[in-house]
């Protein structure tokens, strides 16, 4: 009688399935930048202007609409960063947490850049023609750092609060 040895490839799917999905933490935030860019153009002054509804700010060349336009993108990036960090928090106990956070931060940066470019492209396609002026643009490019920054900060805080609530190993084992 020969004893059959288990195939090494059959025991690998548990770790392989975990390793196969690493790219999603980079790709999903980057791809969601498309929706964020469209939302920026729809909500911001100079675009469809659904947030304020003020017709005076509807002109993309008006300098009064620059700050609200930048703030709309900044708020959307901040919201997306917090949402990404909350999704990361659900996977905090699984191995590879550091790699997921780094990939999500890089994905957030790429997503913010994609959102910026999609918003500008939407303004060119569907907005009024800009004649020699800035038109629909982003003046405060530092707003693009809010998505990865919020992801990193909120992930850190959620991890810190999770670790503060744990009891040390020695106290759990004591009678």
The pTM of the full predicted model, rounded to 2 decimals, is 0.80
Read off the pLDDT of residues 161-172 as tens digits, 9 standing for 90 and up.
888 877 766 665
User: Closest Cα to residue 67, out of 57, 77, 76?
Assistant: 57
Q: Which two tokens stand for residue 170?
A: 């020695």
* Segments in 3-96 forming alpha helices (H): 8-11, 13-20, 24-43, 66-89
Query: What distance separates the 2 farthest-apart alpha carbons in the chain?
Result: 88
Report the alpha-carbon distance of residue 104 to residue 126 in Å, rounded: 31
Name the packing angle between helices 97-126 and 146-164 (round to 10°): 150
Phi, psi dihedrals of residue 75, rounded to the nearest 5°: -65, -40
pLDDT tens digits in sequence order for the chain, 175 residues long: 555 554 443 444 444 445 568 889 899 999 999 999 999 999 998 888 888 777 777 777 778 888 999 999 999 999 999 999 998 887 666 778 888 999 999 999 999 999 999 999 998 898 776 665 577 889 999 999 999 999 999 999 988 888 887 776 666 555 6
Which pLDDT belongs to residue 65? Answer: 82
Q: Which two tokens stand for residue 4?
A: 């059959």
Report the alpha-carbon distance of residue 59 to residue 136 in Å, rounded: 9
Which pLDDT belongs to residue 7? Answer: 45
């Amino acid at each position: 009688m020969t004893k059959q040895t288990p195939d090494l490839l059959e025991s690998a799917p548990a770790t392989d399935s975990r390793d196969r999905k690493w790219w999603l933490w980079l790709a999903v935030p980057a791809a969601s930048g498309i929706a964020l860019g469209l939302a920026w153009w729809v909500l911001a002054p100079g675009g469809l202007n659904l947030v304020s509804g003020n017709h005076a700010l509807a002109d993309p060349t008006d300098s009064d609409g620059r700050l609200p336009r930048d703030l709309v993108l900044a708020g959307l990036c901040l919201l997306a960063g917090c949402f990404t960090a909350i999704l990361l928090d659900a996977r905090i106990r699984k191995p590879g947490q550091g790699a997921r956070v780094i990939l999500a931060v890089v994905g957030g940066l790429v997503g913010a850049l994609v959102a910026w470019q999609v918003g500008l492209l939407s303004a060119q396609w569907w907005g009024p023609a800009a004649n020699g002026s800035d038109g629909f643009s982003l003046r405060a490019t530092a707003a693009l750092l809010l998505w990865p920054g919020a992801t990193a900060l909120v992930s850190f805080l959620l991890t810190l609060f999770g670790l503060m609530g744990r009891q040390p190993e020695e106290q759990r084992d004591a009678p």
